[in-house]
A and B are shown apart, each in its own frame.
Chain A
Amino acid sequence: MTWALYIASVVGAVSLYLMMPRQGFNPRAFGALLGAMSLGGLWIWLAATALPNTGLPSGALPYYYIFSALAIGSAVRVITHPRPVYSALWFVLVVLASAGLFLLLTASFMAVAMVIIYGGAILVTYMFVIMLAAQTGDAADQADVADYDRVAREPVAAIAAGFVLLAVLLTVSFTPGLTAPQPGTFESQEQALLSDVLVERPAMELTALAGPAAEEAAQAQRAASVDNVEFIGVDLFRSHPLGIELAGVILLVSLVGAVVIARMRVPEEADQTLAPAEASGASVRMSYEPGPHDPSAQGQSGGRVGV
């Protein structure tokens, strides 16, 4: 049954190739139609296979399709849009859609953290850099889009490699038996994992005076009130203490590194060689003169000195 996966991968690859930015005729709408067809066909085929059901409420299924289609469509737009600003905006939509998927998967804290950290912090940084570095202009006319944004680099090879990887990933993840899910709900698992933690937690109210039965009831009430954030926090600090330390070190190092990089002075000779490059626009690399460390330039100057 894996031939359906391969067909969907090939059709998806062709559709993405049609949507890639290029000069001249751009069959983007046809490519989008083809991609939607392959994704829809894959979903229909997936629903028809006898993979085990995993106990999510089936009322959430329309939301899965909506959020997935939104995420994948926006992701295609991120990599095909010629303007970096719009790519970043489409990426915000990818983040929001995958936050919706996290909500379906009962990872509510991760959904909120995704939106705040990605959509709030990281994307704002990207927007700042894009505004700082890119040439701005009207969205309507194509003339001011930089040349390197208008044409994709090696689209055939990259898409072939990517979709071969996709076919392999899907073949593995769609094999029944490899992904044997467990029955039950998150809540039952949380009760079992958290029982020792909850005993250590001090009681909020003076229930110990009222006897063991009241104590038990209060503990059950506390266990029932454990939410997603608390559960993640307990797992984070009980099972991954080393990971927290390493994450802190990485954040500190990148903070210091970012400050050092931002304060670094650009050499003056680079600015002088830039003057003709700025005027000619696209042909930056051609007009870049070799620096003093270039071996060929050194040979030439050495020869001149000898003469």
Chain B
Amino acid sequence: MAPLDDFTLAHFLLTGAVLFVLGMIGFLTRRNLIVMFLCTEMMFQGVAVSLAAFSRFYLHVTGQTFIIFVLTIAAAEAALALGLVVLLFRRKRTLDADAWSSMSG
């Protein structure tokens, strides 16, 4: 039995996985469009924590380089998604995702 002050990779993978799963649950349960996209950002956070942990424990800096790409995609996604949200809000004056369920046929 290891002492309590042992640091393992699984510690950080636990935090990353919990952040990812919470973001996923938030994306599925919330009906506000803005909060849904906020939850995707939280999934990015979980992935970034896992990448940094892999980078540290396997001593390879590529994990941190990938976080830069994750940040890039997150920034691009935020710009586009928020523009779309504003456009949708101007049409129907609501942020409810269910208001657009007629698009699903």
- Kindly supply a per-residue 1/0 record for chain A positions 146-185, scoring 1 wherever the CB is within 8 Å of any chain B CB and 0 otherwise: 1111011111011101110110011001100001011011
Q: CB of A203 within 8 A of chain B?
A: no
Say whether, besides A181-B9, A232-B68, A118 and B74 are in contact (CB < 8 Å).
Answer: yes
Q: Which of A24-32, A73-81, A206-214, A299-307 is near enough to bind chain B? A: A73-81
Does A197 sit within 8 A of B, measured CB to CB? no
> What 1/0 mask marks residues of chain A from 266 to 279 whose CB sits below 8 Å from any chain B CB?
11001000100110
Q: Tell me which residues across on chain B come within 8 A of A179, comparing CB atoms.
A: 8-10, 13, 57
Query: Are B55 and A162 in touch, CB under 8 angstroms?
Result: no
**Docked-complex contact B22 and A232, CB < 8 angstroms:** no
Contact B59 A182 (CB under 8 A): yes
The reply to whether B2 and A158 form a contact with Cβ atoms under 8 Å apart is no
Q: Is A72 an interface residue (CB 8 A)?
A: yes
B76–A284 contact, CB under 8 A? no
Q: A146–B89 Cα gap in the complex (Å)?
A: 14
Contact of A288 with B92 at beta-carbon distance under 8 Å, contacts A53-B7, A71-B15, A166-B18 already known? yes
Q: How many residues of A contact B (CB 8 A)?
A: 112
Q: Which of B9, B49, B64 is within 8 Å of A54, CB to CB?
A: B9
**Looking at chain A's contact residues, is the secondary structure mostly helix, strand, loop, or mixed?**
helix
**A232–B62 alpha-carbon span in the complex (Å):** 8
List residues of chain A with CB within 8 A of the CB of B56.
Answer: 56, 105-107, 186
Q: Of B15, B37, B68, which is within 8 A of A72 by CB? A: B15
Instruction: Report the interface size class on chain B.
Output: 35 or more
B residues less than 8 Å from A71 (CB atoms): 15, 19, 45, 49
Residues of B within 8 A of A11 (CB): none
State A238–B57 Cα separation when bound (angstroms): 22
- A34 CB-CB contact with B under 8 Å: no
A49/B45 contact (C-beta < 8 A), A71-B19, A133-B86, A250-B72 known: no
Is A142 in contact with chain B by the CB < 8 A criterion?
no
A78, B2: Cβ atoms closer than 8 Å: no
Chain A min CB distance to B64 (Å): 5
- Judge whether A254 and B76 touch: CB under 8 Å: yes
Most chain B CB inside 10 Å of its own CB: which residue of A75, A190, A255: A75
Bound-state CA distance A109–B63 (Å) is 13
Cβ-neighbour of B93 out of A236, A250, A274 (below 8 A): A274
Q: Are B41 and A173 in contact (CB under 8 A)?
A: no
Q: Give the tally of cross-chain contacts (CB within 8 A).
A: 320
> Do the beta carbons of B78 and A122 come within 8 Å of each other?
yes
**A257 contacts partner chain B, Cβ-Cβ < 8 Å:** yes
* Chain B residues, CB < 8 A from A68: 11, 14-15
B21: chain A residues at CB < 8 Å are: 162-163, 165-166, 169
Determine the chain A residues whose CB is within 8 A of the CB of B7 once the complex forms.
53-56, 58, 60-61, 64
Contact (Cβ within 8 A) B49 A251? no
State whether the Cβ of A243 lies closer than 8 Å to any Cβ in chain B: yes
CB neighbours (8 Å) of A51 from chain B are 2, 6, 8-10
Chain B, 19-76, CB within 8 A of any chain A CB: 19-26, 28-32, 34-35, 37-39, 41-42, 45, 48-49, 52-53, 55-62, 64-65, 67-69, 71-76
Chain A residues with Cβ below 8 Å from B48 are 98, 102, 110, 114
Contact of A102 among B5, B24, B35, B52 (CB under 8 A): B52
Given contacts A79-B30, A153-B98, contact A250 B92 (CB under 8 A): no
Is the beta-carbon distance between B11 and A64 smaller than 8 angstroms?
Answer: yes
**A43 contact set on B, CB distance < 8 A:** 11, 14
**A194, chain B: closest CB distance, angstroms:** 10
Known A-B contacts A91-B38, A274-B93; the reply to A232 vs B65 at CB < 8 A is yes
Beyond A91-B42, A277-B93, 13 extra complex contacts between A and B, CB < 8 Å: A78-B22, A109-B64, A153-B28, A158-B28, A158-B29, A166-B17, A169-B17, A173-B13, A181-B9, A231-B61, A239-B65, A253-B76, A257-B80
